[in-house]
């Protein structure tokens, strides 16, 4: 019985034609697959689904509300609880809704925002219905000042090496903590 002269763990031998075809086609297939992946990355199959947020008021439900006739209880039974109430006056309810979509590495993309404001009179009946749009929004500017914190301003090196030398001796032998006073010792002790 004749034995193959190659070692057992040797690489398989390819014909010269297979040897030439394998290295040339593999990078092409890999590059094509990578190109398809990058081209489809912007497609909707990789997008997060749209999420409805808030209490969306249907136009047909809103048409059923008649100012001067319906009360707070009627509005709440028809539209549900409001998303928000006016801060200083309980006579104005807001139904806020929007459609959001999560974008990778960024904030939520918000679209189709709708705000319906319902105003009540002193007797609790609807006095007005209005839909607020982008033109009704008010720009809020934030104050950039910071409240100073008592203490000292420390540099990065002071923060890193600030505790070196503060602790000394074995546990219980803290120099800053008062310890038990030594009692009488020696022959004078009772």
Summarised one tens digit per residue, pLDDT across range 45-100 is 566 778 888 888 888 988 899 999 999 999 999 999 999 998 888 899 999 998 88
- pLDDT number for residue 16: 55
Domains of the chain: which residue ranges?
51-136
Contact present, 114 and 57 (Cβ < 8 Å) = yes
pLDDT at 39 over 70: no
| 16-25, 145-154, 163-172: least confident range | 16-25
pLDDT above 90 coverage of the chain, percent: 18
**Is the entire prediction scored with pTM above 0.85?**
no
With CA atoms as reference, report the closest residue to 117 among 102, 97, 145.
97
Residue 164 has pLDDT above 80, yes or no: no
Alpha-helical runs (H) found in the chain = 16-40, 59-63, 72-79, 156-161
Do residues 100 and 51 make contact, with C-beta atoms less than 8 angstroms apart? yes
Picking from 139, 87, 134, the residue whose alpha carbon sits closest to that of residue 113 is 134
Nearest to 56 by CA among 89, 93, 96: 96
Mean confidence (pLDDT) of the chain: 76
Q: Distance between CA 30 and CA 20 in Å, rounded? A: 17
Residue 113 pLDDT: 85
| CA–CA gap between residue 97 and residue 82 (Å, rounded) | 11
pLDDT of residue 4: 65
Q: Do the bridges between strand 84-85 and strand 92-101 make them parallel or antiparallel, or are there none, so unpaired?
A: antiparallel
Instruction: Tell me the torsion sign for CA atoms 166, 168, 170, 174.
Output: negative
Residues across the chain: 190
Q: Pick from 61, 128, 67, 69: which is nearest to 93 by CA?
A: 128
3-state secondary structure 10-26: CCCCCCHHHHHHHHHHH
Confidence of residue 117 (pLDDT cuts 50, 70, 90): very high
Which pair of structure tokens corresponds to residue 158?
A: 């002071």
CATH assignment of 51-136, given 3.30.1450, 3.30.1360, 1.20.950, 1.10.10? 3.30.1450
């Amino acid at each position: 019985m004749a034995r193959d002269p190659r070692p057992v763990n040797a690489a398989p031998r390819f014909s010269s034609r297979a040897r030439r075809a394998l290295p040339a086609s593999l990078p092409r297939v890999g590059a094509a697959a990578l190109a398809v992946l990058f081209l489809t990355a912007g497609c909707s199959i990789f997008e997060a689904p749209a999420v409805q947020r808030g209490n969306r008021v249907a136009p047909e439900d809103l048409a059923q509300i008649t100012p001067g006739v319906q009360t707070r209880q009627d509005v709440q039974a028809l539209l549900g609880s409001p998303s928000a109430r006016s801060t200083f006056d309980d006579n104005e309810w807001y139904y806020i809704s929007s459609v959001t979509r999560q974008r990778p590495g960024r904030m939520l993309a918000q679209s189709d925002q709708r705000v319906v404001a319902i105003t009540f009179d002193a007797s609790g009946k609807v006095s007005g219905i209005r839909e607020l749009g982008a033109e009704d929004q008010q720009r809020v500017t934030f104050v950039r000042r910071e409240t100073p914190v008592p203490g000292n301003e420390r540099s990065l090196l002071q923060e890193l090496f600030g505790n070196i030398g503060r602790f000394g001796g074995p546990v219980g032998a803290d120099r800053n903590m008062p310890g038990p006073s030594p009692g009488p010792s020696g022959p004078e002790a009772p």
